[in-house]
Amino acid sequence: MIREINENDFDGLMELYMQLHDNPFPERDERVEGVWKSILNDGNHHIIVAEEGGRIVSSCVCVIIPNLTRGQRPYAFIENVITDKEYRRRGLAAACLEYAREIAERENCYKMMLLTGSKEEGTLSFYEKCGYNKNDKTAFIRWL
């Protein structure tokens, strides 16, 4: 099942995120709880998950960003695409990205952008098969 997160999904999402850049499971303190509630209450912030057997096994984030150019049409930014290592190559991440595309179209976005730190040809090919291209823009990152 592909769906957006709800307030009960914190632990399952964090367990999946532990496979993303060796992200540790955060202590659920006041700060983390505040971030979680902020995401849940932000109509432009969508965390999409694939669930199998009651377990979150794939996810991506889609943030809709208001914009003053392109006829004031927003754009979508995709981040944190992850599938549990035991569930890969089943089309789950592609389904999450397709759900994100549907959100972006519903919100009248003129484009979707996705950044990846991966240099693996298989990962880059996957994103191209999902409709993204690496030729139209150049991304620059400044870490803070």
Q: Where are the domains of the chain?
A: 2-129
Given this model, what pLDDT does residue 23 score?
Answer: 83
Given this model, what pLDDT does residue 26 score?
Answer: 87
Given this model, what pLDDT does residue 117 score?
Answer: 87
The whole-number mean pLDDT for each consecutive block of 10 residues of the chain, a chain of 144 residues, reads: 97 95 88 97 98 97 98 98 96 98 98 92 95 91 92
Q: 2-129 domain in CATH 3.40.630.30? A: yes
Per-residue tokens: 48? 């999409």
Collect all residues with Cβ–Cβ distance below 8 Å to 17 and sequence separation of at least 6: 23, 59, 80, 82
Q: How far apart are CA 52 and CA 76, in angstroms?
A: 26
Given this model, what pLDDT does residue 24 score?
Answer: 87
Given this model, what pLDDT does residue 45 score?
Answer: 98
Taking residue 56's Cβ as centre, other Cβ atoms within 10 Å add up to 22
Given this model, what pLDDT does residue 127 score?
Answer: 96
Collect all residues with Cβ–Cβ distance below 8 Å to 104 and sequence separation of at least 6: 62, 64, 75, 76, 112
Given this model, what pLDDT does residue 62 score?
Answer: 98
